[in-house]
Structure 1
Amino acid sequence: MTSVGVVTPFWLDRPPAEAVDIAVVADEAGFGTLWIGEMATFDAFALATAVGLRTSSISLKIGPLAVGVRSPVALALGLSTVVVMTGRRAGLALGASSPRIVTEWHGRDWEPVRRMRETVRDTRAILDGNRVAGFRSQQPVPGTPISVAAFGPAMTRVAAAVADEVVLNLVSAEHVANTKKQVSALASVPPPLAVWIPAALDPGPATLHQLRAQLAVYLSPPGYGEMFTALGHGTLVEQSRAGRPRAELARAIPTDLIEAVGAIGSAQDVADRVDEYFDAGAEHVGLVPATAEDPAGHGLLTTLSPLLTKGRR
């Protein structure tokens, strides 16, 4: 069974507390899952607790959080705190992140592949109530699903081996289909695949600018750049890697690149686009609502919910 959830975005041109407003709208609209990541605003576990206290039933997926920044003990304590304090179902997601965030921001070693294997193993054991390195949680949460964000062959192999779910962000439907094949070939029982996509109803200039600014961040990183090149936008990737200012790159991004990795247009256009990702092999689609002209994604989420949640869990 497929499902559609909502992702709290990190729009730099919007107030950080809008994340809670988005959560409330998603809950009231009937979406079943809310993803809560972490960048440069709130601690994800603290935000998830606030969201759980402001909403009624939506389940929470915390992350993807940068692996190696928190120990398995810290991750398990954070997850169990959210569950106990809110009475809400919650899952955990981990990702490689980047050397800048892991090493420069947090002062940790950049060893994503090894760290991911060890962190998933030990965090799962602690949440299940087992003793790890002398520590045993007094508030275990057995059976907590752990998702792993995968981009690139090394992390895809790890995700296929240890994750309860594989997560992709800002990718084309074709990339989803390719990853589905890879994961299916790597695991006898392949984990389900989730994908995050930016979404907007009938976007105007401010919304398109917001979406372009996000895409400009992803033009140069390994993996993303190659995907955008395959989609026919190699010149932008080359310019980004050569140091062209991000603001200039954002202005140069064509609408068809946004459409290739997102869902924009009429309500039916967005719903059809979500179905393309399901047809490509995703079991879950997380909508990242653009909010430049639609505060808290209210118009998008309330309009799309009847089309996207019907017949799904």
Structure 2
Amino acid sequence: MTVPLGGVSLADHAAVYAALERAGFTDLWSSEVAGADAFTPLTLAATWQPRMRLGTAVVPVYTRGPGLLAMSAAALAEVAPNRFALGIGASSPVVVGDWNAVPYDEPFRRTRDVLRFLRAALAGETVDGAFDTFAVRRFALERPPAAPPPVMLAALRPGMLRLAGAEADGVILNWLAAGDVPRALAEVGERRAGFDVVARIFVCPTEDAAHARALGRRLITSYLTVPAYAAFHRWLGRGDALAPMWKAWADGDRRGALAAVPDEVVDALVLHGSPEQVREQVRRYADAGVDVPVLALLPTPELSAAGPEALAALIARLGPTGQEH
């Protein structure tokens, strides 16, 4: 599950994490956009749920210096040995440039360089030298983790997917349908032992299809108008289906862009239906080659009108066992 969950204070997540563990969820993965940072929710989870696997999906490679990113990862790996995975990615010009005042230059090479730096630094090596996009002078972790965490790479298109397959410990996929997974994995190439495929999957477990599709359209127009995601979906073959949305968005017609997203695109990218139906749709990602399907839970009318007991019941129905508690 993607954490923290919306609508629940981070300080109150001990009960959320416990409900997820009871329901059979094995992993908690954080993101980092404009809510909580990636490490704080997982640090809490490391102490509250000492058996669950933890991961970042993802930490941008620009918004922390290479040394600070290595220190943050090493600290969490020390708190949660052998159960933390560091996921990094290029993020976007909005997050990096507009919100964090860092130039968004050469995202592929920057991501590759940070990946190489982290693999060396987390292994306890002294890193001294120039990469293509930055230079480091004699950096060494004071507390290198006894068990270096795997470093995973968020990837969309062929170049980054191939880099993940060649140099990372796993790949993190996002904003794709179950049917798109084989095409992405074909670019990753032959998977080494221990190489994990993670996919974030947006789920809106409600039978109110109008609500789910309206929410899905808002998300799609927010994300898939970003150039990298637009190029990704052209590569996946959705260029014709999404062309009217992109045109309306470019023309400044936000309402028209929302209306132009076809139902079939929304239904492929934002899973909805009863919790049991959603769970079956998630299994299609696993059947397609995803090792770790990570749900991103979206608000539903049922949750907004109820209290924490309703959230716990929903988590139980979404979990691998699919049982009421």
Same fold (TM over 0.5): yes
Alpha-carbon RMSD across the aligned residues, in angstroms, is: 3.0
Shift of 1:80: 2.2
Shift of 1:251: 5.5
Superposed CA offset, 1:288-308 (max 9, x none): 112343367534421122347
In the alignment, which residue of structure 1 is the partner of 2:155? 150
Paired letter, 1:148: L
In the alignment, which residue of structure 2 is the partner of 1:180? 185
In the alignment, which residue of structure 2 is the partner of 1:117? 112
| Structure-2 separation of matches of 1:36 and 1:122 | 22
Aligned-partner SS, 1:285: strand
2:122 and 2:141 in contact (8 A); partners too: yes
2:23 and 2:321 in contact (8 A); partners too: no
In the alignment, which residue of structure 1 is the partner of 2:91? 97
In the alignment, which residue of structure 2 is the partner of 1:200? 204
Unaligned segments of structure 1, at least 5 residues: 1-5
Superposed CA offset, 1:174-195 (max 9, x none): 321101111126x777943221
Q: Residue 128 of structure 1: which of 123, 131, 153 is its match?
A: 123
Q: Which moved more, 1:34-43 or 1:15-24?
A: 15-24
2:56 and 2:85 in contact (8 A); partners too: yes
Aligned-partner SS, 1:91: strand
Paired letter, 1:17: L
Q: Residue 54 of structure 1: which of 42, 48, 51 is its match?
A: 48
Bigger relative contact order, structure 1 or 2, given CA contacts below 8 A and separation 6+? 1
Change in Cα spacing, 1:231 to 1:193, as seen in structure 2 (3 Å) is: farther
Aligned-partner SS, 2:238: helix
In the alignment, which residue of structure 1 is the partner of 2:143? 139
1:218 and 1:224 in contact (8 A); partners too: no
Moved over 6 A (4+): 187-190
Shift of 1:39: 1.0
In the alignment, which residue of structure 2 is the partner of 1:3? none
Q: Residue 239 of structure 1: which of 225, 243, 248 is its match?
A: 248
**Paired residue total:** 300
Structure 1 segment 65-80 matched on structure 2, within 5 A: 65-80=59-74
Aligned-partner SS, 2:199: strand
Shift of 1:60: 0.9
Paired letter, 1:175: D
2:244 and 2:257 in contact (8 A); partners too: no
Q: TM-score scaled to structure 1, two decimals?
A: 0.82
2:216 and 2:270 in contact (8 A); partners too: no
Superposed CA offset, 1:54-79 (max 9, x none): 33422210231111222231112112
Q: Is it true that 1:160 corresponds to 2:160 in the alignment?
A: no
Change in Cα spacing, 1:308 to 1:74, as seen in structure 2 (3 Å) is: farther
Change in Cα spacing, 1:292 to 1:299, as seen in structure 2 (3 Å) is: same
In the alignment, which residue of structure 2 is the partner of 1:278? 286
Q: Residue 270 of structure 2: which of 250, 262, 267 is its match?
A: 262
Q: Residue 238 of structure 2: which of 229, 242, 246 is its match?
A: 229
| Structure-1 separation of matches of 2:200 and 2:20 | 15
Shift of 1:169: 0.8
Aligned-partner SS, 2:63: coil
Query: Percent identity, aligned pairs only?
Result: 25
Aligned-partner SS, 2:41: helix
